[in-house]
Structure 1
Amino acid sequence: MKLIQQQIDDFHREGWLFLPELFTPEEVALLAREAVNIYDANRPEVWREKSGAPRTAFAAHLYNEAFRLLGAHPRMIDPIEQLFGEKVYMHQFKINAKAAFTGDVWQWHQDYGTWKRDDGMPEPRAMNIAIFLDEVLPINGPLMLVPRSQNAGDLKAAHDLQTTSYPLWTLDEETVTRLVKEGGIVAPTGKGGSMLMFHGNLVHGSAGNITPYPRKIVYLTLNAVSNYIRNPTRPDYIAHRDFTPIKTVADDSLIRLARAPRQAAE
């Protein structure tokens, strides 16, 4: 899969690009089922809210076949290699949950700030990919983006260790207000299987979910191989040390797994 020139231009101008329903309902059903199984597991990679609800599950591509295939899927890998002009590796893989009624906030932040401070990533040449596993609605905690804020560069941030169960380098209200006045706020919504890609310096966050509708999203961080991390401080299931370029799988690999006997996906 390749991006057309208009999509490339839109991404470079706005800092994000949304591709609705890139994956089929059959593929999404497989991934959503596997995500629930992972959340139910007692693994160190599964982090929980203070309420006990799942917040994020790291590195599922290393121990689950469905997510291994997703992490090497050409519908995601090809466009990023097209934009970067080189091969990419998996810097981070996580499945974020916004549980019904109890899903917590993600404060305003830039992801590259964390990658630089905590992992020693030289440049913001890593791309965030978000695959919706549930329908993302305006009411169930959609990701909010500040368009064009990637042009502000690497902003000053404070390490928030208190607000949620996940430590984050967050931005102050004055900075966010200034950037929102310049670029506004968008909250891409869509059905399961939709894909959102956004620049590592794009300011983003999300509100809590007090609705009955859960919201699960797979987030992959694909880093240019030449931009590998130099000084990781986080566990390797959070910031991977394997810089091998991703070799893509067949486009129909998830469909074939979904149609295989059930034990093949476990």
Structure 2
Amino acid sequence: MAFSIGGLCSTALRRSLACGAGACAPASQALVFRRSLSGADLSSRRPLTAEELGKYRTDGFVILRDVYNQEEIDLLRETVLADQMLKENVMDMVDSSGKTSRLTLWRHDGDDTYGMFSRGRRMVDFAKAATGSNDDSVYHFHTKVMLKEPHIGGRWEWHQDFGYWYEVGCLQPERMLSVMVAIDKATVQNGCLDVLKGSNRLGRIHHGNTGNQVGADPWAVDKATKLMETVPCEMDAGDVLMLHCNTLHKSNANTSDHWRRCMIVAFNTKDNEPRPDTIAPLYFQMKPVADSAIMELGMVGRASGTVEDFLQRDDNVNAFKLEDTELEYKDAK
């Protein structure tokens, strides 16, 4: 049995020490190690229940508790903290009040720690169930790591993910979703996600610009929030939120002394590809790995990716900027 030091099992600790202080393993090490994972048990450690899938489809979201254990989440957090590629490719997203949240987004999954989560059987099976697809159809659309710093992390305005994805040519919202992994405890005080329960059934709402963000039409939001319940998604580290791409959601500024960090993996399907002339990735077949791969691989950062694979702020603004649709939110803080 592996022992634990500072939340990292002995396997992960040996790999992180071999990388050197503040650095992650190079891609070559990850690729060599991946070969040893072939033939591993690919059954999920945490299958989705019929009741959970029903809540996702009816409410537009579902929170799954204790999907990842403490060792796995500690490893993910330490990888984020040590990964220089994330720091070099971060985007500052300014809200309408001038506060800033930070995110790093990349398009293709890799042979790194993040990829062991996004390609792990737990997460892939969640995506398959939500989209009604199979291993040959579902694919990784993007991964992003989001950071809300204490007292600095800003607000995200009400929006639908499909408000963005429709603009790049994806037409089927039932074939897309986001899966959020809580790296830290998410509370109302540190700006947890708020969702509008059942708003996935409203269809796509018009979106426009607000600060560096694209948000949903405030008239429609005002009407929807009077009809439906706003639910704060408070989560413990290791919990997972499955979010339908038409569900309206937002988050408030972090007014606490605590970080809120999360990793969000978006999935799409082969029959719902974006237009080929956009920044969004076309279909490529995923290669699921065993749930055990996370701790077996250990700390490996995005050195296995390329700079071109990261979304840059100017590309993001140009891709989703909607002319003559500047929005104002009455409740912006």
Q: TM-score under structure 1 normalisation?
A: 0.86
Per the alignment, residue 142 of structure 2 pairs with: 92
Please say which of residues 53-62 and 22-31 is displaced more in the overlay. 53-62
| 1:141 corresponds to 2:191 | yes
1:1-266 alignment, distance < 5 Å: 1=44, 2-38=47-83, 42-43=87-88, 45-49=89-93, 55-59=102-106, 62=109, 65-86=112-133, 87-117=137-167, 119-124=168-173, 125-160=175-210, 163-164=211-212, 167-168=213-214, 170-234=215-279, 239-241=280-282, 243-258=283-298
1:6, distance to aligned residue in structure 2 (A): 1.4
1:11 aligned partner, one-letter code: Y
State how far apart, in whole Å, the 2-side matches of 1:5 and 1:232 are.
Answer: 38
Question: CA deviation digits over 1:112-159, x for unaligned, max 9?
Answer: 010111x21121121111000011112100000001101110111213
Do 1:107 and 1:205's aligned partners in 2 also have CA atoms closer than 8 Å? yes
Do 1:39 and 1:57's aligned partners in 2 also have CA atoms closer than 8 Å? no
Aligned with 1:181: secondary structure?
A: helix
Do 1:120 and 1:230's aligned partners in 2 also have CA atoms closer than 8 Å? yes
Do 2:107 and 2:142's aligned partners in 1 also have CA atoms closer than 8 Å? no
Do 1:136 and 1:189's aligned partners in 2 also have CA atoms closer than 8 Å? yes
1:37–1:11 Cα change, 3 Å:
same
1:200, distance to aligned residue in structure 2 (A): 0.5
State how far apart, in whole Å, the 1-side matches of 2:99 and 2:208 are.
Answer: 26
State how far apart, in whole Å, the 1-side matches of 2:124 and 2:132 are.
Answer: 12
Q: TM-score under structure 2 normalisation?
A: 0.69
Do 2:108 and 2:141's aligned partners in 1 also have CA atoms closer than 8 Å? no
Aligned with 2:117: secondary structure?
A: helix
CA RMSD for the aligned pairs?
A: 2.3
Question: Rg larger in 1 or in 2?
Answer: 2
State how far apart, in whole Å, the 1-side matches of 2:170 and 2:198 are.
Answer: 22
Identical counterparts, % of pairs? 23
Runs of at least 4 residues off by over 4 Å: 39-42, 49-54, 60-64
2:69 aligned partner, one-letter code: T
State how far apart, in whole Å, the 2-side matches of 1:82 and 1:12 are.
Answer: 10
Per the alignment, residue 313 of structure 2 pairs with: none
Please say which of residues 200-209 and 45-54 is displaced more in the overlay. 45-54
State how far apart, in whole Å, the 2-side matches of 1:61 and 1:30 are.
Answer: 21
1:66, distance to aligned residue in structure 2 (A): 0.5
**What residue ranges of structure 1 are gaps of 5+ in the alignment?**
none
1:53, distance to aligned residue in structure 2 (A): 6.8
Please say which of residues 175-184 and 225-234 is displaced more in the overlay. 225-234
1:178, distance to aligned residue in structure 2 (A): 1.6
Do 1:133 and 1:217's aligned partners in 2 also have CA atoms closer than 8 Å? yes
Please say which of residues 91-100 and 57-66 is displaced more in the overlay. 57-66
Aligned with 1:186: secondary structure?
A: strand
Question: CA deviation digits over 1:184-217, x for unaligned, max 9?
Answer: 1001112111100011000001111121100001
State how far apart, in whole Å, the 1-side matches of 2:274 and 2:126 are.
Answer: 22
Question: CA deviation digits over 1:160-184, x for unaligned, max 9?
Answer: 3xx24xx32x123321122122221
1:49–1:73 Cα change, 3 Å:
same
Per the alignment, residue 11 of structure 2 pairs with: none
Aligned with 1:90: secondary structure?
A: strand
State how far apart, in whole Å, the 2-side matches of 1:188 and 1:54 are.
Answer: 18
1:42, distance to aligned residue in structure 2 (A): 4.9
